[in-house]
Homo-oligomer: A and B are copies of this chain.
């Protein structure tokens, strides 16, 4: 394991200290908690947005704190759900009396702990709503789908909407609506190593790739010989467009996300083919995002996310 760390058990604490120091104009840390909040939280009259989950997916989620985005991000240990009391502190810190929407990736620990935090908030009279993002179409059963890079689109769109005045109920409905129209599919070339374990999360042969690997290295759908980037892009795109029933005349947001160690050069090569194919099918890319949004430490790979837009959502795409 070659990493710039000190003690493996301190990585999250030290990362949070680094983030708080680097971005003190935008955010602050809740003293004693693994929670970063928007500097001016709670924002009067605005629904608060809280997300979070295991660490190791940076810039998600703390990198998306700010105007038109999140009010708080809760950081669990690496690839581990944050505890309910941490989430509860985040909720309290961002509630201005307008309630708080929790944006949760669909992992059992996250769902359970955000639920418990919501109950703790209710007991103190704070209204919350939750949306659980299930965008990873590599998992067949819709209810079991993991939350991946598509979660960032929920942060941005719902973040803009609550800034423009949506109330808690409206924000929750919008978040649910957006989530239902997002699909993602990844492909990995090499694993990441959680500092506390010191060992790669899985192994792949030198000529192999894995379709549908989870953001924590969960097994995917299929292993096969590594394919040219254009073939990879087409396979990801076909799977996502089929799932979302994207068709001629539709508008989408297209996000090509890097899993950690894949160079931007390769992400743009994948994006290029996806964009060509979409154009050829008369599907319009309303907005493009290419880069690392939801990483998995130093995993090599990428994912393609589409959000199938409609007029309701477009109002909040900035």
Contact = CB atoms under 8 A, between A and B. Distances in A.
A193 to B, nearest CB: 10
Interface residues of A, number: 55
Interface string A183-224: 000000110100000000000001001000000000000000
A275 to B, nearest CB: 4
Interface stretch (A85-93, A243-251, A257-265): A257-265
A165 interface: no
A2 B59 CA distance: 24
B228 A265 contact: no
Contacts of A264: 58-59, 63, 292, 295
Contacts of A272: 14-15, 17-18, 21
Dominant SS among interface residues on chain A: mixed
Contact of A18 (B5, B21, B290): B290
Nearest to A59: B264
A5 B298 contact: no
A283 interface: no
Interface string A251-273: 00000000011111111111110
Contacts of A189: 2-4
Interface in A82-122: none
A139 interface: no
Copies of this protein in the assembly total: 2
A268 B298 contact: no
Contact of A228 (B5, B15, B22): B5
14 contacts: A5-B229, A6-B230, A11-B265, A14-B268, A17-B272, A18-B267, A18-B270, A19-B268, A21-B272, A22-B290, A56-B265, A261-B300, A263-B298, A264-B295
Given A269-B11, A275-B22, A262 B4 contact: yes
A315 interface: no
Contact of A229 (B4, B230, B232, B276): B4
Contacts of A17: 272
